[in-house]
């Protein structure tokens, strides 16, 4: 498979309304993508309020032979309630996409919380395994948003998982809130194919500080900022494809220019990325290094550095806010929420960066602590 997949989470729209999809532009993008030798299309039940799947039918499956394209879709685990009927949702997905089967099908947005809650409650794995036995899906996988330990547990308990979709990009590689690098290592340990999502971290890596951008453009003026993020992910062993959430023909053409004849990053280019990461890290809202000295002091066991990592992410790209509600919720449930801070000040005495942790945790609480149940 070629290492560049057409992501349909951020399709071009005519207005701010996610349902107001610019179909003529998508037709043009799809044609260009296929003409360039690519064929992997990723969608999900919830993208564009359900209309991403429909757009994919109109632009792809109604216009190209089914066997010439690879269609990936996802069971919307994070939207499920105990009263939902999985068969009905799957039938709706097939109809919306205009297909009889999916090549790749994932349990969407798996976290520890869902893994121990709605997934066993509705027997989601058993359901997906049956779909595979019956030929309605060709490959079963998960898209995953939690830590490496949780991924390890899930992969050891569910050998039927053939592939894992992970958030991987050069900035999150060592981010303790996201754990891209650690999750990648776990997937490799279990010999799972990897599909990469968010290689540009929701657009963050094309909006980097000016001095970081200059390093990249002076190294190679012909390469776009986006190219560094996408090539970083595609260069990793075991990566089947890298999804790019293309929002315009221009973006797609940029992606095609370096993914058509893909060259992995060289050692020199990796060093350049290392320099850029340092600059981006210094531009972040809370200059936490993740040393966790504060954690040893906290009587509430608040995962301070992980919360700060998530907060910094959202401050760099507001598009990440919704996704980070989930990361925050997982951490808060496993440990303690930011709002449980007693303001005792023990952590601040330990902080190697002299951060006003109590004040910053209040900002974290205000930004990320929401009632997820009532939002979905």
With binding defined as CB under 6 A, does residue 298 bind ligand SF4?
A: yes
For ligand SF4, the closer CB: 77 or 341: 341
With binding defined as CB under 6 A, does residue 310 bind ligand SF4?
A: no
Backbone φ and ψ of 244, nearest 5°? -120, 125
Cα–Cα distance measured from residue 27 to residue 32, given in angstroms and rounded to the nearest whole number: 9
For ligand SF4, the closer CB: 129 or 346: 346
User: Collapsing DSSP states into helix, strand and coil, what is residue 288?
Assistant: coil
- Token pair for residue 279? 């600059």
Q: Tell which one of 98, 249, 358, 369 touches ligand SF4 (CB under 6 A).
A: 358
Name the one range near ligand SF4 by CB under 6 A: 83-91, 193-201, 271-279, 297-305. Answer: 297-305
With binding defined as CB under 6 A, does residue 351 bind ligand SF4?
A: yes
Cα–Cα distance measured from residue 155 to residue 190, given in angstroms and rounded to the nearest whole number: 7
Name the one range near ligand SF4 by CB under 6 A: 82-90, 218-226, 263-271, 337-345. Answer: 337-345
User: Collapsing DSSP states into helix, strand and coil, what is residue 284?
Assistant: coil
Cα–Cα distance measured from residue 358 to residue 242, given in angstroms and rounded to the nearest whole number: 39
Tell which residue, 124, 163, 169, has the closest CA to residue 143: 163
Q: Tell which one of 1, 270, 318, 342 touches ligand SF4 (CB under 6 A).
A: 342
Name the one range near ligand SF4 by CB under 6 A: 21-29, 49-57, 258-266, 336-344. Answer: 336-344
Cα–Cα distance measured from residue 121 to residue 55, given in angstroms and rounded to the nearest whole number: 32
Write the DSSP symbol of residue 64: S
Cα–Cα distance measured from residue 63 to residue 61, given in angstroms and rounded to the nearest whole number: 5
Q: Tell which one of 156, 160, 207, 289 touches ligand SF4 (CB under 6 A).
A: 289
With binding defined as CB under 6 A, does residue 353 bind ligand SF4?
A: yes
For ligand SF4, the closer CB: 257 or 283: 283
Instruction: Give contact residues for ligand SF4 (rule: CB under 6 A).
Output: 288-294, 297-300, 302, 304-305, 341-347, 350-353, 355, 357-358, 361
């Amino acid at each position: 498979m070629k290492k560049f997949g057409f992501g349909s989470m951020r399709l071009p729209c005519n207005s701010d309304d996610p349902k107001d999809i610019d179909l003529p532009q998508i037709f043009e993008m799809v044609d260009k993508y296929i003409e360039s030798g690519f064929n992997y299309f990723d969608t999900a039940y919830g993208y564009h309020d359900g209309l991403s799947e429909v757009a994919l039918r109109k632009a792809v499956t109604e216009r190209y032979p089914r066997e010439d394209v690879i269609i990936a879709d996802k069971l919307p685990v994070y939207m499920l309630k105990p009263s939902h009927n999985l068969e009905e949702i799957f039938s709706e997905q097939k109809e919306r996409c205009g297909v009889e089967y999916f090549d790749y099908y994932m349990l969407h947005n798996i976290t520890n919380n869902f893994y121990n809650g709605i997934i066993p409650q509705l027997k989601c794995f058993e359901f997906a395994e049956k779909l595979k036995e019956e030929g309605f899906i060709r490959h079963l996988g998960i898209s995953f948003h939690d830590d490496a330990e949780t991924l390890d547990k899930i992969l050891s308990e569910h050998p039927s998982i053939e592939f894992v979709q992970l958030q991987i990009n050069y900035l999150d590689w060592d981010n303790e809130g996201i754990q891209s690098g650690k999750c990648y290592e776990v997937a490799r340990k279990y010999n799972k194919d990897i599909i990469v999502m968010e290689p540009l971290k929701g657009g963050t890596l094309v909006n980097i500080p000016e001095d970081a951008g200059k390093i990249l453009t002076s190294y190679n003026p012909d390469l776009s900022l986006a190219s560094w993020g996408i090539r970083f992910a595609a260069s990793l062993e075991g990566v089947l494809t890298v999804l790019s959430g293309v929002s315009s023909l221009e973006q797609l053409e940029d992606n095609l220019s370096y993914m058509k004849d893909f060259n992995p990053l060289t050692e020199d280019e990796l060093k350049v990325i290392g320099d850029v990461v340092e600059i981006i890290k210094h531009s972040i809202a809370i200059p936490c290094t993740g040393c966790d000295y504060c954690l040893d002091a906290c009587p509430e066991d608040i995962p301070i550095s992980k919360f700060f990592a998530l907060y910094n992410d959202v401050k760099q790209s507001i598009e990440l806010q919704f996704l980070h509600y989930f990361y925050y919720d997982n951490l808060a449930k496993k440990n303690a929420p930011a709002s449980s801070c007693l303001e005792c000040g023990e952590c601040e005495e330990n902080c190697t960066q002299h951060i006003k942790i109590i004040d910053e945790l209040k900002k974290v609480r205000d930004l990320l602590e929401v009632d997820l149940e009532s939002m979905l």
